Amino acid sequence: MSSSPVDPSFGLLIYEISHQMRKRLEQRAKGLGLTRAQWQALGKLKRHTELSQAQLADMLDLEPITISRLLDRMEEAGLISRRPHPTDRRIRLVSVTETAKPILDEFRVLVDELHEEVLGHLSAAERTELIDRLTAIRAILAEPTSN
């Protein structure tokens, strides 16, 4: 472990990279007819197959009423389906529909193109090292704090 101080701009740099990538992706995804909240929800659902509305709200850092309205619009557009939980009537389970899958495929192409644009100047080994280090940082931040 290095004893040298961390550059004070580290957190700001991570934030700005995330913000700029989201903005760039938003610009590219306009043609798909999705809002940022919609493509983020679809992405989480694709990764997790099925989630409760509460789980999805938590992952997207949205209030329950906000996620409910978002999912209402997405369900009307045929992008998601909701069904009751088999054992808990209070829970609605959300999943991606077949209608959304081609849109998600197009979105994946946009993401891959952005990643190549951003990381294309790095060698395969450098990309792997970068991802490994960022994954380790995320794991540290995911640990419960003692405060």
- Lowest pLDDT segment from 31-40, 95-104, 123-132: 31-40
**Residue 41: CB atoms within 10 Å:** 26
101's enclosing H/E stretch is: helix 100-119
Report pTM.
0.77
Token readout for 115 is 């990643």
Per-residue model confidence as pLDDT tens digits over 67-88: 999 999 999 999 999 999 999 9
The answer as to whether 16 is a domain residue is: no
Give the residue numbers spanning the domain of 133. Answer: 29-142
For the cut 80, the answer to whether the pLDDT of residue 8 exceeds it is no
* 97, 78 contact by CB (below 8 A): yes
- How many folded domains does the chain comprise? 1
> Quick one: pLDDT band at residue 35, thresholds 50, 70, 90?
confident
For residues 143 and 90, give the distance between their C-alpha atoms in angstroms, rounded to a whole number: 29
The answer as to whether 9 is a domain residue is: no
The answer as to whether 116 is a domain residue is: yes
* CATH number, residue 129: 1.10.10.10
The answer as to whether 135 is a domain residue is: yes
For residues 5 and 144, give the distance between their C-alpha atoms in angstroms, rounded to a whole number: 24
